[in-house]
Every structure is written in C-alpha cells, then in structure tokens.
Amino acid sequence: MARRGPGEIDKHVGARVRERRNQVGMSQTDLADALGVTFQQVQKYEKGVNRVGAGRLAEIAQVLGCDLTSFYDGAPRVRAAGPGSERMALARRRSEVAQSPEGTMVIEAMANMRPNMRSAMVKIARALVSSAS
C-alpha cells in the first residue's frame, strides 16, 4: 500500500528547517536562491509536503549554518516495518545477548571448544528454547 501525504518525520524536519531559517533571519526566497530552487520548493520542504533528500538537507544545513543532525532533534521514533524488520530485531537481540555478561561467558566457552562440541551446544540451546515455549 502506497503511503499518502507527508510523514511525521518529513513534517518534523521541515518545521526544524523553518525554525532555523527564521532564527538566522533568512526569507524563504533567500534560502531558495542559495539552494538554486524556487521559494515554493522551500515552502514544500518546510511543510513536509516534499521530502528533503540527504544531499539537499546537507546543503540547507550549510546555508543555515547549523549541524545536519539538528533537523532531527526531537523527531518521532520510527518502528521498523517490512520484510527486513524481523532480521533487524534479531540482529539487535543477538548484539544485546553477545554484550551481556552471560553472552560473553558463553562465547568465551564456545571459543575454547572443538567444532563438534560447539555443534552439540547449539543443539542443547535449541532444545532448551523449544521446551520453554
């Protein structure tokens, strides 16, 4: 399903661009001229109607004399969705486990095992997980 209308982050980034532009006392026309676009395009960026590409946002930050990341300060968090989100969640859990004290101990123990012993440990771990569910 295609998304319609501006997203929350697009609106937030646009509002932050407008806020910064006003802080430095620059008009939409001045910003547009510096970027080589029309002032209507700047209006669309600021309303979040048109997304600001990464390169263009970097140009805006340079013209407005601020850090690129400042446009994202206070932005709403986005939940991962779609086919890759499960893989991302699994990668995040793996990282958390590997960095935990228990994960570190298991990794160190398995590093000292022969390959056939590591395979046996994986089977034991999988059996424990399936019996717990």
Q: pLDDT per residue over 74-84, tens digit each?
A: 888 766 556 66
User: What is the Cα gyration radius of the chain?
Assistant: 24
Q: Are residues 68 and 104 in the same domain?
A: no
Q: Are residues 34 and 58 in the same domain?
A: yes
Q: Which domain holds residue 103?
A: 86-132
What's the structural domain count of the chain?
2
Examine the fold and report which residue of 72, 97, 119 is the final residue of a domain before the chain moves on.
72
**What pLDDT does 64 receive?**
96
Q: Tens digit of pLDDT for each residue in 99-115?
A: 888 888 888 888 899 99
Q: Are residues 56 and 90 in the same domain?
A: no
Mean pLDDT of 41-65: 94
20 close to 66: Cβ distance less than 8 angstroms: yes
The CA distance from 98 to 93, in Å, is: 8
Q: Are residues 66 and 90 in the same domain?
A: no
Mean pLDDT of 5-9: 78
48 close to 54: Cβ distance less than 8 angstroms: no
Q: Are residues 19 and 67 in the same domain?
A: yes
Q: Are residues 61 and 95 in the same domain?
A: no
10 close to 46: Cβ distance less than 8 angstroms: no
Exposed / middle / buried, residue 9 (Cβ in 10 Å: 0-12, 13-18, 19+) = middle
Q: Tens digit of pLDDT for each residue in 10-31?
A: 999 999 999 999 999 999 999 9
Whether residue 1 is predicted with pLDDT greater than 50 in this model: the reply is no
In a domain, 80, yes or no: no
In a domain, 81, yes or no: no
- The mean predicted confidence, pLDDT, of the chain is 87
Q: In whole angstroms, how far apart are CA 59 and each of 46, 79, 86?
A: 15, 28, 34
Q: Are residues 67 and 29 in the same domain?
A: yes
**What pLDDT does 7 receive?**
83
Q: Are residues 66 and 107 in the same domain?
A: no
CA trace torsion 10, 15, 19, 21 (10° rounding): 50
**What pLDDT does 81 receive?**
58
